[in-house]
């Protein structure tokens, strides 16, 4: 897969292996901090981010439901420490996955798995003062570029979803700019990238303080403060799309099942530890027991939240677990560990 990899200051690490990517360090939040006196504030902010990520909802109502049920924020924290990233200070807060999911279950709040959707943004900008271009991570041409990219990075971290921009070479840019028919444009993008949703936006200056927005957002803005007005519209549209796509990935903790899985290609004790850790990190896991060993294969019985389909989806989108076969009638999944 040809997604360009980039790491934001919030340490969202994007793998480029599979479709529907695994969100690395889902239960670790990096919160900016200016001084030791702000640790309490940063802890509170990191807790809010954790709830947004795990629930998939941007509504603060889940935060207050958890707190009003008698749960202190600090109870969910395993550890925290100050980290220096790109010469800036961040509070690294590691949360207790099992306790969070237990409380979500008690309050009937759905959770979103480690596997998170990928939304690709194809944004063409024609300011009228130069050649049209597509927004990428590697170039900054204007204040608008910076605001869009900073928003996507921040929202990616907060919501736990991959909001990505393409990296296009000159030949590809010329192809996209020269193709006028939508089917041709989409053919190029679908051939090069893998994603769950494509958001296409064309921004064109058509007069003094007049702008036309086409594609997934269709508006005309006649205002000197175009940048602010457009960013507000862009945020509203993006949040709507994020909410809709995350709703499809909910795991309802009120549902509980037992499944049997086998993990093959275990060549060493380290392989066993690494593969088991991957399973333990599944958001849909309630408990895990070993049934037996056979040469290079370990057999487990798992208690899960959600249903068979939801755990299959979560496992299948792990970078290091490959499903060889699955049998819904007998609740059985056979997996290979990928080094």
pLDDT (0 to 100) of residue 151: 95
Q: Which residue has the tokens 């960013």?
A: 231
User: What span, in angstroms and rounded, lies between the C-alpha atoms of 156 and 6?
Assistant: 12
CA distance 33 to 91: 6
pTM of this prediction? 0.79
Other Cβ atoms less than 10 A from the Cβ of 98: the count is 12
- Token output for 308: 């068979």
Residue 339's pLDDT is: 83
pLDDT of residue 197: 92
Q: The tokens of 115 are what? A: 């596997």
Nearest in space to 115 (alpha carbons), one of 234, 228, 196, 232: 196
Residues 6+ apart with CB under 8 A from 52: 58, 158, 159, 160
Q: For residue 122, count other CB atoms closer than 10 A to its CB.
A: 22
CA atoms of 122 and 200, how far apart (whole Å): 5
In the prediction, which pLDDT does 28 show?
93
Q: Where are the domains of the chain?
A: 27-109, 116-247, 255-337
Predicted confidence at residue 8, as pLDDT, reads 34
Amino acid 118: pLDDT: 92
Sequential pLDDT tens for the chain (339 residues): 333 333 333 333 333 333 456 676 889 999 988 877 788 899 999 999 999 999 988 889 999 999 999 999 999 999 999 888 888 888 999 999 999 999 999 999 999 988 788 999 999 999 888 788 889 888 887 899 999 999 999 999 889 899 999 877 777 667 766 765 544 566 777 888 889 999 999 999 988 888 999 999 999 988 778 999 999 999 999 999 999 999 888 898 888 999 999 999 999 999 999 999 999 989 999 999 999 999 999 999 999 999 999 999 889 888 899 999 999 999 999 999 998
What is the architecture, at CATH level 2, of domain 255-337? 2-Layer Sandwich (3.30)
Q: Where do we find the tokens 């629930």? A: 55
pLDDT tens per residue across span 149-200: 999 999 998 898 999 998 777 776 677 667 655 445 667 778 888 899 999 9
Bridge partners (DSSP) listed for residue 332 = 260, 327
Owner of token pair 């204040």: 143
Burial tier of 299 (Cβ tally within 10 Å: 0-12, 13-18, 19+): middle
The angle subtended at Cα 270 by Cα 265 and Cα 271, nearest 5°, is: 20
Tell me the two tokens of residue 175.
């192809």
Whether residue 148 contacts residue 213, with contact meaning beta carbons closer than 8 Å, is answered with: no
For position 331, what pLDDT does the model report? Answer: 96
Angle at which helices 170-178 and 182-192 pack, to 10 degrees?
Answer: 150
3-state secondary structure 204-241: EEEECCEEEEEECCCEEEECCCHHHHHHHHHHHHHHHH
Token pair belonging to 328: 């819904």
Q: Is 225 exposed, middle or buried (0-12, 13-18, 19+ CB in 10 A)?
A: exposed
Collapsing DSSP states into helix, strand and coil, what is residue 92?
strand
Distance CA 14, CA 162 (A): 8
Query: Residue 185: its pLDDT value, please?
Result: 63
Q: How many CA atoms lie within 13 A of 335 on its CB side?
A: 31
The count of other CB atoms within 10 Å of the CB of residue 174 is 11
The helix/strand/coil state of 77 is strand
> The tokens of 243 are what?
């909410």
Nearest to 226 by CA among 200, 199, 206, 241: 206
């Amino acid at each position: 897969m040809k997604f360009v990899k980039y790491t934001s200051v919030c340490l969202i690490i994007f793998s480029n292996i599979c479709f529907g990517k695994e969100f690395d360090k889902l239960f670790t939040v990096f919160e900016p901090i200016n001084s030791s006196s702000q640790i309490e504030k940063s802890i509170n902010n990191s807790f809010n981010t954790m709830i947004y990520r795990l629930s998939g909802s941007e509504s603060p109502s889940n935060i207050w439901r958890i707190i009003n049920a008698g749960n202190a924020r600090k109870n969910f924290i395993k550890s925290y420490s100050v980290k220096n990233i790109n010469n800036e200070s961040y509070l690294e807060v590691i949360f207790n996955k099992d306790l969070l999911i237990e409380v979500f279950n008690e309050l009937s709040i759905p959770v979103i798995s480690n596997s998170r959707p990928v939304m690709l943004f194809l944004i063409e900008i024609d300011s009228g003062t130069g050649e049209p271009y597509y927004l990428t991570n590697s170039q900054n041409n204007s204040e608008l570029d910076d605001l869009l990219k900073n928003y996507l990075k921040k929202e990616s971290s907060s919501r736990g979803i991959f909001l990505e921009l393409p990296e296009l070479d000159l030949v590809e840019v010329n192809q996209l700019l020269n193709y006028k028919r939508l089917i041709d444009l989409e053919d190029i993008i679908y051939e090069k990238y893998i994603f769950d949703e494509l958001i296409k936006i064309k921004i064109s200056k058509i007069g003094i303080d007049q702008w036309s927005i086409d594609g997934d957002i269709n508006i005309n803005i006649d205002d000197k403060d175009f940048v602010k007005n457009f960013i507000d519209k862009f945020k509203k549209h993006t949040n709507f799309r994020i909410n809709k796509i995350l709703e499809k990935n909910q795991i309802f903790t009120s549902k509980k099942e037992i499944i049997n899985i086998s993990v093959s290609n275990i060549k060493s004790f380290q392989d066993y530890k690494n593969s088991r850790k991957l399973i333990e990190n599944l958001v849909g896991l309630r408990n895990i027991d070993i049934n037996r060993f056979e040469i290079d294969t370990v057999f487990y019985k798992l208690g899960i939240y959600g249903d068979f389909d939801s755990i299959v989806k979560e496992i299948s989108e792990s970078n290091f677990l490959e499903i060889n076969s699955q049998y819904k009638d007998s609740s059985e999944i056979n997996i290979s560990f990928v080094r």
